[in-house]
Structure 1
Amino acid sequence: MPAGSCAPSWAGASPHAACPSSLSNMMMTPEHQPKTRTPSRKCCMQPVVDKILHVLRTEDDFLVAGHATPDGDAYGSAVAVCHLLSRMGKQFRHYTSAGAPDTFDWLVHPEAPRSSLQGFIPSWSIILDSSDSDRLDPEVRDALVPERTVNIDHHLGNSLFGALNWVDASEPSVGTMIAKLAHGLDIPLTGDLGEAVYLAMVSDTGHFSYGNTRPETLELAAEIIRLGLNPGDFNAKFEKSWTPQRIRLWSHALGSAVLHCGGQIGVIRINRDILRNTGADDHDCDGLVEVMRRLKSVRIAVSIRETDNGHVKVSMRSHGNDNVQLVAKHLGGGGHKNAAGATVAGTMDDVEQLIVHHGSEVLNLTCPDKACDPASEQAQTKA
């Protein structure tokens, strides 16, 4: 098994699996059976966390990267790791293919992210918020040495592509996991480090409004605020980052959205022509799917976006027991119960049909009706 992967010594635990979000259903031999309670997730996670902390303390020359086209959790977590390494006096390079995303260019970085790894040979790579190495930019993927890769993630179905795999699907964000590393290193979540962790947290919890928000999440936010972060100042930077191009894109995308299955599956479509005509970029698409989720009738909200290489990037959201991770699995993707995605080869029309087909199965729906315009009388009635 990869060195440092989380593998309890209990019978029934696969040596190649990441820790489950709950250990309550694991089979145990009598000698390992707890007298009063099921082993906690921390019991399972601590060995790999300790090994990651050891790497951070003893190694140098790190490559830090999140998934391609990083969102707030991937970028905020990466910047937070860079602040940790900087405070420890370590050398590192943070890679993003286009440098700092415009949406987050206000976030203070200890060293500007690079768009090239030419001439840089990392001793260790720290990969964040990526369920598989295929989700990384090609230059990062080519630089990885699996035996010297730390993989920190919270997605179901992570492929465990590193030597040290800390994967916990119960964590609301990778940012909360980075905060635990900071605690383990006795580095306070002050200043720019705290703000980077806070960005990661609010991005993946919808400002602490999603079902993945736990008491510990709010307690961590309170800790960062006590250490000096001003939520009002943060939100002013976080919210006031839109451009005219983004407004034009959202106007077009929302105006052309369609509903399926009596309004229960809502789809937003974005092709390359729309992006070119509005002057927007891929980052400007972030958050569109959340708007579709706000329709009363919609149980599965979807955005599908055409990529430069002829694939279709799918993002899905839901509420409660409507499991979009099952839909994503049919498409070769993954994620969480209420937030999942995939990248699929094919046309947007074909991918949309697949989503409606598998989505209707997950919701146990019969969908005889054709897609309808959300602004139509039919859609307004059903929404």
Structure 2
Amino acid sequence: MTDFFKGVAPVRFEGPSSTNPLAYRHYNKDELVLGKRMEDHIRPAVAYWHTFAWEGGDPFGGRTFARPWHDKGMDGARLKADIAFEFFDLLDIPFFCFHDVDVAPEGDSLAESNRNLRAITDIFARKMEKSRTRLLWGTANLFANRRYMAGAATNPDPYVFAYAAGQVRTMLEITHELGGANYVLWGGREGYETLLNTNLKQEQDQAARFLSLVVEHARKIGYKGTLLIEPKPQEPTKHQYDYDVATVYGFLKTYGLEKDVKVNIEVGHAFLAGHSFEHELAVARSLGILGSVDANRNDLQSGWDTDQFPNNPGEMALAFYQILKNGGLGNGGFNFDAKVRRQSLDPADLLHGHIGGLDTLARGLKGAAAMLEDGTYDRVIEERYAGWKEKGAAAMLSGGRTLAQIADWVDADNINPQPKSGQQEYLENLVNRFV
């Protein structure tokens, strides 16, 4: 055991009346919600990068955290792994997620980087034998190194494409070996900064070929997990090809990959795309590609992705409503792609962030379940579209009437529809009743 969390007791559920800041007040992993354990609905995960690899910097200043593993190479990486699993045990959390470069330093070649990575993931494998924490998903960092300044799969240099393929091959195989439920491809720089030097069609063809190679290799090695793309509209590039869920689906459909890949939706990315989290979940559900979720929030006064812990139960109730209507997240879960603020220096701050986030998710889940059990919200939506079940309307939708036949029907029956209230204020109040 290390002494990083010295004196901190394991976090337990103590109920809403608890005043213990290091206890769950709403997240009770074994509580049944709609006949299913709360933990099995949420499937929460710790993000290795924000929790252990982030140094507290921002666009105007560098490191503020003084972690004992900083600047210590492979020895630091081993210590970081020890502390990470202690943290998982303290939180009693079932999953974690990581990029390759989060866990081990890059070497002078891909081969050396992969040796470093394998040395640490071998430690993960041994620790997972004694821990209940499992891998929700793995991914490769194809954006931080300067070689990826013009993208990875979409880079104009084919050798960068090849290097990225080598990174993904190893990370996909490690994810498979560790029993990872999903593999995520996040194109942090798969986009353009200016169209003056960009061939859009060439770059999107490259992205599709890269994704096809990943699908093929996953099948070859027998990986049964879900492959996911994480949409993001901008930051750091001016425009990214995976702008939002609808854009990703259009891309997948164009290249015949819509049955092979789903989406991992992040709250902050939805916001940057001009959408709500609920919107992105609803679109993914309607298209059949909802896979997993990154739980966080943005500061509404800032124009970038601030990755703060979720704290809005009402927002999460609407999110869980979409997830429950989807039948859950399957292999997916809620990854806390969130980081403490750069002034939150104490180890306990890491616990506070995750505890608050889990309590928020628990309240959102129970609110959504109560909405479904009550049934009022569903009935309002069903009644709003009830007219489409009538014979004439159904014929329009099914293709049973031509445009001319529809127009003749309006004339023959003297159809003169009058507007009806959308009841938005009532519905907002209705949702708040259950939060």
* TM-score, length-scaled by structure 1: 0.29
More helix by share: 2
* TM-score, length-scaled by structure 2: 0.26
More strand by share: 1
Q: Which of 1 and 2 has higher RCO (CA within 8 Å, sep 6+)?
A: 2
